[in-house]
């Protein structure tokens, strides 16, 4: 089944967890992806929260697969900042292979953050955010096709 970021906002947390766990890591992406924060998934406010975050705080990520890095696009004007190392390893979520976005060595602001992503469709990745080892929220990354 093909998914969209909008559909992910309507899914329950259990559905998101099952989708993440059942998906392959996929290839480390390259290029600019539009981001969608998934907070309060499956509730009437999820899309509104995502829209506010996208407008004022976080628009997505720009990957450089050759160098194994990314930069987040943040603020209302989309400044490329907050660098992470990108590599494949075992997921903290379920122990299966995933793509890790590791901020521990590259960012003072986000040094406690580790994102994990997996491919769930053509150019679409589902992510899980960890603060230290505590799972916090989900997000989606949509690359142009």
Identify whether the C-beta of residue 83 lies closer than 8 Å to the C-beta of residue 71: yes
Structural contact between residues 94 and 104, judged by C-beta atoms closer than 8 angstroms: no
Q: What pLDDT score was predicted for residue 36?
A: 98
Domain coverage including residue 54: 5-142
What pLDDT score was predicted for residue 126? 98
5-9, 24-28, 54-58, 93-97: which range is least confident on average?
Answer: 54-58
pTM metric for this prediction: 0.96
The shares of helix, strand and coil residues in the chain, as percent rounded to the nearest 5, are 20, 45, 35
Joined tokens for residue 16: 């998101």
DSSP for 100-125 reads EEE-TTT-STTTTEEEEEEEEETTEE
pLDDT score of 77: 85
pLDDT for residue 1 is more than 80: no
Give tens-digit pLDDT for 86-120: 999 999 999 999 999 999 999 999 999 999 999 99
Mean pLDDT value of segment 61-75: 96
Which residues face 31 on adjacent strands?
63
Split into its structural domains, the chain has a count of 1
pLDDT computed for residue 3 by the predictor: 95
């Amino acid at each position: 089944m093909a998914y969209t970021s909008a559909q992910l906002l309507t899914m329950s947390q259990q559905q998101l967890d099952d989708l993440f766990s059942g998906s392959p890591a996929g290839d480390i992406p390259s290029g600019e992806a539009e981001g969608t924060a998934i907070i309060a998934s499956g509730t009437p406010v999820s899309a509104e929260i995502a829209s506010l975050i996208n407008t004022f705080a976080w628009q997505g990520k720009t990957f450089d697969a050759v160098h194994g890095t990314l930069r987040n696009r943040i603020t209302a004007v989309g400044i490329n900042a907050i660098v992470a190392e990108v590599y494949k390893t075992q997921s903290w979520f379920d122990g299966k292979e995933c793509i890790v976005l590791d901020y521990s060595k590259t960012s003072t602001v986000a040094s406690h953050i580790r994102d994990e992503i997996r491919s769930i469709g053509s150019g679409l990745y589902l992510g899980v955010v960890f603060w230290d080892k505590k799972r916090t929220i989900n997000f989606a990354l949509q690359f142009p096709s």
